[in-house]
């Protein structure tokens, strides 16, 4: 079952006008929220980011005052199971095709649930491959926009080279992955690109930083050069569906020893322990500044 504009219905019965601005212009935003055993993980942080994205594109929140939480909980009940990925999307809605905002229109709200696959155990031994590509996206990557063509093309380039992700570089600096944030480790220090318009403020990124700092791990948010990336002892990808994923080959060359590193193993263990605590009760407070 999916949710569309107030109704819970089978996906084949859900329909959206071709005049919807999300279809015509990519005029909308989205979120992806993991759910474990029926409990959405870091939901408050995801909804806070959704509100920031809506505000950034000047689209009033169509479901304030707890509406999102109630709708998503009902949707999960309509799609029972263990681990799930919840996708929600808001567009400016149906209107005559004109770039400027329509005077009056109702937002289109859509949500669906998909199975969330567990990390392949083989990853702990072999890691995954990634490629590096120029970052050709627009200038406001901090908005979780549905306009993802540049990301799609980068991920397709990765797929054609048997890689799971494309790591993006702009003006000699690491930004992030096409669908992930990126961490690098050198001499035991964990680094990730500082927040700003060039990267998405990842919810998993923030959670990993909180978990590591709680364990007194040296973590730094700062510029990372392409040379830093290529000289890293470890590279990780983080996202709501990837958790913390070790990259052991970049552009066909080994990262560090070519095996998942010790800092990643400790980070994944702490992340999963904290995730279990967070889904069972009050957990770490997530900061984005």
| Active site residues per annotation | 144
Q: Is 167 within 8 Å of 177 (Cβ atoms)?
A: yes
Q: How far is 84 from 107, CA to CA, in rounded Å?
A: 25
**How many whole angstroms separate alpha carbon 144 and alpha carbon 109?**
15
Q: Put residue 72 in one of left, alpha, beta given phi > 0 → left and psi -120 to 50 → alpha.
A: alpha
Which among 157, 199, 153 has a CA at the least distance from the CA of 174?
Answer: 199
For residue 203, which of 99, 283, 109 has the smallest C-alpha distance?
283
Label residue 241 exposed, middle or buried (CB < 10 Å: 0-12, 13-18, 19+).
middle
Q: What is the CA radius of gyration of the chain?
A: 19
Query: Sign of the C-alpha dihedral, residues 78, 271, 121, 88?
Result: positive
Structure-block tokens of residue 96:
């005559």
The secondary structure of 162-220 as a DSSP string is T-SEEEEEETTEEEEETTBEEEEEETTEEEEPPPSTTS---HHHHHHHHHHHHTT--EE
């Amino acid at each position: 079952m999916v949710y569309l504009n107030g109704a819970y219905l089978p996906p084949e019965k859900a329909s959206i006008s071709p005049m919807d601005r999300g279809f015509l212009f990519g005029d909308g935003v989205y979120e992806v929220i993991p759910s474990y055993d029926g409990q959405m993980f870091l939901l408050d942080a995801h909804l806070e980011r959704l509100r920031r994205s809506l505000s950034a594109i000047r689209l009033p929140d169509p479901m304030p005052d707890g509406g999102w939480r109630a709708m998503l909980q009902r949707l999960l009940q309509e799609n029972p199971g263990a681990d799930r990925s919840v996708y929600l999307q808001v567009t400016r809605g149906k209107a005559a095709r004109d770039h400027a905002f329509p005077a009056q229109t109702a937002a289109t709200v859509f949500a669906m649930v998909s199975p969330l696959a567990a990390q392949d155990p083989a990853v702990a031994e072999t890691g995954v491959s990634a490629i590096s590509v120029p970052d050709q996206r627009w200038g406001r990557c901090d908005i979780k926009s549905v306009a993802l063509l540049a990301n799609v093309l980068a991920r397709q380039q990765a797929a054609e080279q048997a890689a799971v992700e494309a790591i993006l570089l702009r003006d000699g600096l690491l930004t992030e992955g096409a669908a992930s944030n990126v961490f690098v480790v050198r001499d035991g220090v964990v680094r990730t690109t500082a927040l700003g318009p060039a990267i998405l403020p990842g919810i998993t990124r923030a959670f990993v930083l909180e978990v590591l700092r709680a364990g007194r791990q040296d973590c730094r948010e700062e510029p990372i050069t392409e040379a830093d990336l290529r000289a890293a002892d470890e590279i990780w990808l983080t996202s709501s569906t990837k958790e913390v994923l070790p990259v052991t080959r970049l552009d066909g060359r080994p990262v560090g020893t070519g095996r998942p590193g010790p800092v990643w193993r400790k980070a994944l263990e702490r992340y999963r322990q904290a995730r279990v605590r967070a889904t069972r009760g009050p957990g770490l407070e997530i900061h984005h500044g």
